[in-house]
Chains A and B, each alone.
Chain A
Amino acid sequence: MYLFYILLFGVSLLFGCDHQPPAMVEEGAVAQRPDYGDTLLMGSIGEPSNLLPVLASDSASSDINGLVYNGLLRYDKNLQLEGELARSWDISPDNLTITFHLRNDVRWHDGHPLTADDVLFTYRLLVDPAVPTAYADRYLQVVKAEAPDPFTFRVTYGQPLASALVSWMFPIHPKHLLEGQDVTRSPLARRPVGTGPYRFMEWKSGEKVVLEANADYFEGKPYIHRVVYRIIPDPSTMFLELRSGGLDLMGLTPLQYARQTDNLAFKRRFEKYRYLDFSYTYLGFNLRRPLFQDVRVRRALAHALNKQELVDGVLLGLGTATTGPYKPGTWPHNPHVKTYEYNPAKARTLLAEAGWQDTDGDGILDRDGRPFAFTIVTNQGNDARTKSGEIIQRRLQEVGISVKLRVIEWASFIKEFINPGDFDATILAWTITPDPDAYAVWHSSKTGEGELNFIGFKNAEVDRLLEEGRHTLDQDQRKRIYGRFQEILAEQQPYIFLYVPESLPVVAKRFHGIDPAPAGIMHNFIHWYVPNDQQKYQR
């Protein structure tokens, strides 16, 4: 990306004083410079719900909003924070105040200049009780927000908040179009106006959303002229569309990746990518149940499972077995925690220590006349979780534990099993956020009904670490805090962390400039291009 700027700069220096017609400049540089033009067709399973980011919470909306809007900050390709609308930012020595210095060359798609008032307005939207947004909590911690001049925005917190910076990645909304209106009725929900690299063109419900390159984008006009999100609800149809040329980019399932695209005809037309996804799947135990209160039992279960077998069987090898709640290879991840190798004999020994033995010879362990039997619940519609459940069921059967698997429709699953804590064990997944704060999932204050620590995990040291971690800004210090947190989780095994799946995008070969990185492939989308002679769509 920086290379690109240097190159452009050099070209203008060379020809700048000669008053050459611009066409000549382009011809001179054509060997190095990517071509503009062409359309990228992207497949989306779901229809976006709302293109005002403050109201949307689905992935289809946020994919589109990501191209239409900008935040003050963003992650670079290595998941480090960098400025987007903010040129730079300062943090006060007491870690309470952040001052953002905004770029002064940014315009909304309607030509209106972006100022700090827009940022202040976005903050007010997020904390306005009348706005039905799911994002208010982090911004409610701000005690003072101000815009001392048109290109400076300053926020002050009551106590240092580690995720404060990350929270300013939130898309900035246009004040001049939304002020004084009921945002829930704003036409911008269907016709967004942002500052991003692509401007909104049209949205045909259930059919497509069309975006076009923003020629005034402050980082330069994107090369790909148009992006079309086609809404295709069925993954098989989407795959057929891809093969027939009706799509240029989609996410594959492991089965499609491993078995259905491994032929020359496909490889000639498409490039496949794989990188670790931002989520982990786990088997969580309800620690309120006497069955799982003994840590020896949880460790025994960990020894009884073969995580690699799950990765191979369920994900066809397209994923990695995991030991904790962070993505391997990122800074919060601690690779040195206690691991539990697959060892059924050891599992049986540990269970015997905890008093579980097969006294009546029926193949099922028992203690005080009660058999070791429990039910794993998971939600319907996620094939990988169901399959994992079946493999786990079989492995536990082998050490003498009888497991039932129940698959339940999502809403009932949450309302009747997870929220009231009425389950033995569950297979679920969490999103891994680049910021390691895990307070909501692991702190002992979050065990109430409907809260996220639904397994009832309580550990005084973890509580202390999580409190400290979310108020510490220094990354090395946080690495130590969350490293220790992972050690405790590994020792306690409240979850058996199973695997991190891989994201498996596929892109048509004519697109060049793709740079796979820890952040995925979309981070440099505005620099993707199609050479003139390969362009498919002229208009």
Chain B
Amino acid sequence: MFAQITKRLIMMVPLLLGITLISFVVIHLAPGEPTDLQTQLNPEVSSELRERLRAQYDLDKPLIVQYGKWLGRLAHLDFGESFVQDRRPVAEKIAERLPVTIMINLLSIGLILLIAIPLGVLSAVRRNSLFDRFTTVFVFIGFATPSFWLALLLMDFFGVRLGLFPIAGLKSLGHEYLSFGRQIADVLHHLVLPVFVSAFGGLAGFSRYMRGNMLEVVRQDYILTARAKGLSEWVVIYRHALHNALLPVITILGLSVPGLIGGSVIFETIFAIPGMGKLFYDGVMMRDYPLIMGVLVIGAVLTLVGNLIADLAYAMADPRIRRR
């Protein structure tokens, strides 16, 4: 077991190198440079000045030299400094945005699981019932609704008309004067609409998946055995069937680890939430190479680690896999 983990970890190094090299080349292929925002179509900027700025960012050096320098810094776990005018360390910028993004994603995944699992199980148990059909339509409406549109409608209705929820941001104006308990309540109050919107779109996938798993499991012989033993339907479904139907969910959760740090641009823009999605998008728009690379590297590492963890967790939960 230990040897296998080590082997997997070592395999990750060349994989990661490949990912960074391809990313680095691709983002430099895109037209435009970080200095453009400052210098293009600006009557006050001469061409010497433009060259001077480029040299300050090493943009006048060959691509391979730039990559080498970047990789050298990464070896010391240094993501470098952002190329936009604030010149702050990339790690600091990411660290600032990460907690909010992770919190929203955790809450939204939690909410999705909380609703989607019972929904999926019930639709499987009562297959083709009115409930099943209604749920199907409902979750697919959620899937098909553009999140920005839904968000604006909810903001207009609950925020402007009813005044129940704040519209944008994560904190009220006087947040710092509130007691700690009130501060948490304030943030949660701000999170209601964003978490609902982000969860609504994710219901379809999970509940359908759960329904499929459940239908698969219910057909198995051991369920028939359980029923033959005269166990109540409740025990059959929730003790015997559900446990097994939940196993593949581990894999999905493992795969969603990188998703925890990736926010959605549209969603964060609409709710004015300072998250990773907006950070990355702005980085791409400004061709902030160190920032883009920083986010991509973290994403890549989390994807690889997430896969590894999912495999290990699955092995732990399912003895059939462990034996092999």
| Given A57-B37, A412-B31, A414-B36: A50 touches B43 (CB 8 Å cut-off) | no
Question: Is there an interface contact between B41 and A452, defined as CB atoms closer than 8 Å?
Answer: yes
Question: Is there an interface contact between B86 and A450, defined as CB atoms closer than 8 Å?
Answer: no
- Other-chain contact of A236, B97, B152, B171, B278 (Cβ < 8 Å): B152
Q: Would you call A136 an interface residue if the criterion is a C-beta within 8 Å of the partner chain's C-beta atoms? A: yes
For residue B204, give the distance in angstroms from its CB to the closest CB of chain A.
25
Query: How many residues of chain B have a CB within 8 Å of chain A?
Result: 55
For residue B160, give the distance in angstroms from its CB to the closest CB of chain A.
5
For residue A439, give the distance in angstroms from its CB to the closest CB of chain B.
8
Binds A, one of B135-143, B161-169, B225-233: B161-169
- Other-chain contact of A241, B45, B97, B168, B287 (Cβ < 8 Å): B168
> Interface 1/0s, chain B 268-282, versus A by CB < 8 A?
111111110011000
Question: Is there an interface contact between B171 and A207, defined as CB atoms closer than 8 Å?
Answer: yes
Rounded to whole angstroms, the CA-CA distance of A154 and B86 in the bound complex is 32
Rounded to whole angstroms, the CA-CA distance of A39 and B172 in the bound complex is 14
Q: Would you call B219 an interface residue if the criterion is a C-beta within 8 Å of the partner chain's C-beta atoms? A: no
Binds B, one of A20-28, A73-81, A127-135, A281-289: A127-135
Binds B, one of A182-190, A370-378, A505-513: A182-190
Binds A, one of B48-56, B70-78, B303-311: B48-56
Rounded to whole angstroms, the CA-CA distance of A238 and B270 in the bound complex is 9
Chain B residues near A134: list those with CB within 8 A: 38-39, 42, 44-45, 49, 53
Q: Would you call B156 an interface residue if the criterion is a C-beta within 8 Å of the partner chain's C-beta atoms? A: yes
Rounded to whole angstroms, the CA-CA distance of A426 and B271 in the bound complex is 34
Most buried by B among A189, A231, A234, A415: A234
Chain A residues near B22: list those with CB within 8 A: none
Question: Is there an interface contact between B160 and A240, defined as CB atoms closer than 8 Å?
Answer: yes
- Other-chain contact of A240, B47, B52, B156 (Cβ < 8 Å): B156
- Other-chain contact of A135, B37, B44, B170 (Cβ < 8 Å): B44
Q: Would you call A230 an interface residue if the criterion is a C-beta within 8 Å of the partner chain's C-beta atoms? A: yes
Q: Would you call B14 an interface residue if the criterion is a C-beta within 8 Å of the partner chain's C-beta atoms? A: no
Q: Would you call A119 an interface residue if the criterion is a C-beta within 8 Å of the partner chain's C-beta atoms? A: no
For residue A303, give the distance in angstroms from its CB to the closest CB of chain B.
29
Q: Would you call A416 an interface residue if the criterion is a C-beta within 8 Å of the partner chain's C-beta atoms? A: yes
- Other-chain contact of A56, B50, B85, B173, B275 (Cβ < 8 Å): B85
Chain A residues near B87: list those with CB within 8 A: 50, 55, 184-185, 189
Chain B residues near A158: list those with CB within 8 A: none
Chain B residues near A269: list those with CB within 8 A: none
Most buried by B among A41, A136, A244: A244
Question: Is there an interface contact between A414 and B32, defined as CB atoms closer than 8 Å?
Answer: yes
Most buried by A among B32, B47, B50, B156: B32
Question: Is there an interface contact between A452 and B43, defined as CB atoms closer than 8 Å?
Answer: yes
Residue of B nearest to A48 (CB): B86
For residue A176, give the distance in angstroms from its CB to the closest CB of chain B.
22
Question: Is there an interface contact between B37 and A237, defined as CB atoms closer than 8 Å?
Answer: no
Rounded to whole angstroms, the CA-CA distance of A129 and B51 in the bound complex is 11
Chain B residues near A411: list those with CB within 8 A: 30-32, 36, 287
Q: Would you call B312 an interface residue if the criterion is a C-beta within 8 Å of the partner chain's C-beta atoms? A: no
Q: Would you call A206 an interface residue if the criterion is a C-beta within 8 Å of the partner chain's C-beta atoms? A: yes
Chain A residues near B160: list those with CB within 8 A: 240, 243-244
Q: Would you call B217 an interface residue if the criterion is a C-beta within 8 Å of the partner chain's C-beta atoms? A: no
For residue B295, give the distance in angstroms from its CB to the closest CB of chain A.
15
Question: Is there an interface contact between B169 and A230, defined as CB atoms closer than 8 Å?
Answer: yes
The 6 closest A-B pairs by CB, nearest first: A206-B274, A411-B32, A440-B43, A415-B31, A49-B85, A50-B85
30 A-B pairs within 8 Å (CB atoms) are namely A39-B173, A41-B173, A49-B84, A50-B85, A57-B37, A129-B52, A134-B45, A138-B44, A189-B87, A206-B96, A206-B273, A206-B275, A206-B278, A206-B279, A207-B169, A230-B169, A231-B272, A232-B169, A233-B272, A237-B155, A237-B271, A244-B159, A244-B160, A246-B167, A410-B285, A411-B32, A411-B36, A414-B36, A415-B31, A452-B41
Known: A41-B173, A50-B85, A205-B96. 5 other contacts (CB 8 A): A132-B56, A185-B87, A190-B86, A237-B271, A411-B31
